[in-house]
């Protein structure tokens, strides 16, 4: 899938994968149960202080992460849930009420990101692959996305690292 905009060339999705030494059911539960999500979601250093989950197509995860003195709200609105293979959601920053907002430090970051997470099990291990692509994005947002791949890699690597630590304890 590529993001298209009248004023720009297509933008390729950001894709990252990681293998976890855990069965798919456990990894799936870590992504789909509020109390588990709170244990690992977010880049390294983030602490989830609030999490309200309505895990169904059309439902939403609304959460608040804290980094030292900064509070960041976000949400995921679920579009497709195919247990235990795939979750598709629109990811965005939000306010305390769940309204969609811009990135607090990057006003040209895409307002909405289509996120597809797949779970593939092999030999008792699970590979999680995340594909991220802007939707309904302006030319400036697509440019910011395309230029932000190193930052996305760092953020998602930290998040998946926290997931690995959580799964090792479970």
Whether the predicted pLDDT of 145 surpasses 90? yes
Whether the predicted pLDDT of 169 surpasses 60? yes
Angle formed at CA 131 by CA 146 and CA 92, multiple of 5 degrees:
75
State the sign of the Cα–Cα–Cα–Cα dihedral 93, 96, 97, 102.
Answer: negative
pLDDT in tens, 21-74: 999 999 999 999 999 999 999 988 889 999 999 999 999 999 999 988 899 999
Residues 6+ apart with CB under 8 A from 108: 138, 140, 141, 143, 144
pLDDT for the residue 59: 98
Here the tokens at position 45 are: 């250093």
pLDDT in tens, 78-93: 999 999 999 999 999 9
Whether the predicted pLDDT of 5 surpasses 70? no
pLDDT for the residue 153: 95
Helix axis angle for 24-32 and 149-169, nearest 10°, is 110
Domains in the chain: ranges and CATH: 14-38+48-169 (3.30.530.20)
Whether the predicted pLDDT of 3 surpasses 60? no
Q: Which residue do the tokens 């804290």 mark? A: 66
């Amino acid at each position: 899938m590529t993001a298209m905009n009248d004023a720009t060339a297509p933008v390729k999705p950001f894709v990252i994968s990681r293998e976890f030494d855990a069965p798919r059911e456990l990894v799936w539960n870590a992504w789909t149960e509020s109390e588990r999500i709170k244990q690992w979601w977010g880049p390294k250093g983030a602490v989830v202080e609030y999490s309200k989950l309505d895990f169904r197509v059309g439902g939403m995860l609304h959460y608040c992460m804290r980094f030292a003195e900064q509070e960041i709200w976000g949400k995921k609105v679920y579009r497709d849930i195919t247990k235990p293979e795939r979750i598709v959601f629109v990811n965005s920053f939000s306010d305390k009420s769940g309204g969609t907002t811009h990135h607090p430090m990057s006003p040209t970051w895409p307002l909405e990101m289509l996120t597809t997470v797949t779970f593939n099990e092999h030999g008792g291990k699970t590979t999680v692959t995340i594909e991220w692509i802007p939707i309904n994005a302006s030319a400036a947002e697509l440019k910011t996305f395309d230029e932000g791949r190193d930052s996305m890699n760092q953020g998602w690597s930290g998040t998946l690292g926290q997931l690995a630590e959580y799964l090792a304890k479970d």
